[in-house]
Structure 1
Amino acid sequence: MIEFHNVTAFQQQTRVLEGFSLKIETGEKVAILGPNGAGKSTLLKLITRELYPLDREGSHLKLFGRQNVNLWDLRSRLGLVSQDLQDDYTPYTSALEVITSGFFGAIGAHGHLQPSADQLVQARAMLAEVEMAGYEDTMFQRLSTGQRRRLLLARALVHRPAALILDEPANGLDMGASLGMLRLLRRFCGPEHAMLITTHHLDEIIPEIERVVLLAKGRIVADGPKAEVLTSERLSDLYQIDLRVSEQDGWYRCWHL
């Protein structure tokens, strides 16, 4: 589904990735874990085509098997939830309009992009799915951070994408909102969806995620099954601090000694 091969990418004047290779198969559930500045957000922006890699011989980034992807087609196959997207949203967009904008890959409501009757039905059903029935006409700016994040999840899922891309999905949420968001992610984590989460918090890695990639300074330092990667030794090396890791019912947590 996603294949990086020997990719180099810059953010402004800073080289974030160099010679980077990673493959994610259709339907896989993967977490990319790493400290701030590791390159996690750059990785996602390359996938969503907000950034493009350096054009070099022997290097490619393929999405759904193709290097050249139609952006409209890509938006229908990927669902995105990120803090950047949340920050960009027009404050006077209603909750229902946030969800219907997902059909068009738009940010906010636009007069020339009118949802069909069937799309409105789907959007209202998704509003209920994320436990926000009754908020249809509420403006985005009047919602809590947790409610805004749930709306973005509904927007991402309304067109039934092949992959759900989440950049630190519980970032900035209080404990209740964070747990609620993770519960919704588990509900929508079926076999028909691939899921890619970037985070630096172990508690955002839901039990359904099977594979973890550790990223540091733009390079992969570990990649494999969750139980093999999320160890005290590996995470201590990653964060340069003495950590201990424990697991219970598929959830992982760590603490500093």
Structure 2
Amino acid sequence: MSEAFLELERVNVWRGDEAQVAALSEVTMTLRTGESVAVLGPNGSGKSTLLKLLTGALRPEVRDASSCRLFGEEHWSIDDLRHRIGVVMPEEVARFDPLEEAFDVVLSAFRGAYGRTRDMRFSKKERVAASRAVDRMGITSLISREYGALSSGERRRFLIARALAHDPEVLVLDEPSTALDFAAATELSMTLRELIGSGHTLVLVTHDPGEIPPEIGRVVMLRNGSVLADGSPRRLLRSERLSELYGLPLKARWSRGWCEVRARE
């Protein structure tokens, strides 16, 4: 059996000024390398909180009955996790200077930095690794362009290359198609399918079932901070389950491995 990179046992995370609202409540879950998982749920379901647990940015309530392990450890270093987990978040798009050279955006992964990197020094090994990530994303011809001159889809591809620069064991994408037009979202979807097909362990965090590519083998549904369901896409992405998840009547239809969802008339 492959290694577990996230193990949650009856985990609680609280939010609010007086920590009275459960962002996650009694969540038990194990994610393993070698599998690709979609974490699906509406806004406020706990997806962002789960993502922060996964990346080590947040720790749960400490109590005897619960545990949270990343790569088998209850105590971890953020620097170590940065090398083992690559993360792409929508807000990262705006964190770079528009005048930044696109290749430098990828190189910045080795300093955990955002913004201009022209005064930073990078080793030959780091440059080779960044070039390899750029090649993998098929954007080598764009590396000398200014970041701000790239299309929204191209910028998203450079951010994925940045996340891949360390050759991480796990790649996490949070709402990856946010602010992308149809063409860019379609290209991104093809990229995700290629990444999964090439053996990457992928965690896709989304509110849209239609974003989940056919190569995803598992769906975890979150609602109100709890796991509503956990299983195969074919079993869970059905009209009844999705209607329960989103709290409104929905109709799901499968076409060529994709789940299409509409409001029920």
The TM-score with structure 2 as length reference comes to: 0.89
Deviation at 1:27, TM superposition (A): 1.4
1:107 aligns with 2:106: no
Q: Are 1:78 and 2:85 an aligned pair?
A: yes
Q: Does the Cα contact within 8 Å between 1:213 and 1:224 map onto a contact in 2?
A: yes
Q: Identify the range of structure 1 (115-124 vs 54-63) with the bigger mean alpha-carbon deviation.
A: 115-124
Shift of 1:85: 2.5
2:219 maps to which residue?
212
Distance in 2, matches of 1:110 and 1:145, equals: 21
CA–CA distance in structure 1, aligned partners of residues 95 and 52 of structure 2? 15
Identify which range, 85-94 or 224-233, moves more after superposition.
85-94
Question: 1:7 aligned to 2:11?
Answer: yes
The alpha-carbon deviation at position 191 of structure 1 amounts to 6.2
- The SS at the match of 2:109 is helix
Whether contact under 8 Å (2:132, 2:165) holds in the other structure is no
Q: Which residue is equivalent to 2:31?
A: 24
1:48 corresponding residue in structure 2: 55
The alpha-carbon deviation at position 250 of structure 1 amounts to: 1.6
Code of the residue aligned with 2:241 in structure 1: it is R
**Percent of pairs identical after alignment?**
38
One-letter amino acid of the structure 2 residue matched with residue 232 of structure 1 = S
- State the alpha-carbon separation in 2 of the partners of residues 249 and 90 from structure 1: 40
CA 1:11 to 1:109, structure 2 compared with 1: closer, same or farther past 3 Å?
farther
Displacement after TM superposition at 1:102 (Å) = 1.9
The 5 A counterparts of 1:1-257 are 1-13=5-17, 14-110=21-117, 113-190=120-197, 192-257=199-264
Mapped to 2, the partners of 1:112 and 1:70 lie a distance apart of 27
Any stretches of 5+ residues in structure 2 without a counterpart?
A: none
Q: Partners in 2 of 1:67 and 1:107 — Cα distance?
A: 28
RMSD: 1.9
Runs of 4+ in structure 1 off by over 4 angstroms are 109-113
Summarize deviations over 1:108-140 as a string: whole Å, max 9, x none: 454785322232233234324323233223332
What is the CA deviation profile of residues 57-86 of structure 1, one whole-angstrom value per residue up to 9, with x for unaligned ones?
Answer: 222211111111122111111011111332
Deviation of residue 147 (structure 1)? 1.6
Q: Which runs of 5+ in 1 are unaligned?
A: none
Greater mean alpha carbon deviation, residues 132-141 or residues 28-37: 132-141
Worse overlay, 27-36 or 128-137: 128-137
TM-score computed with the length of structure 1 as normaliser: 0.92
Report the count of equivalent residues: 257
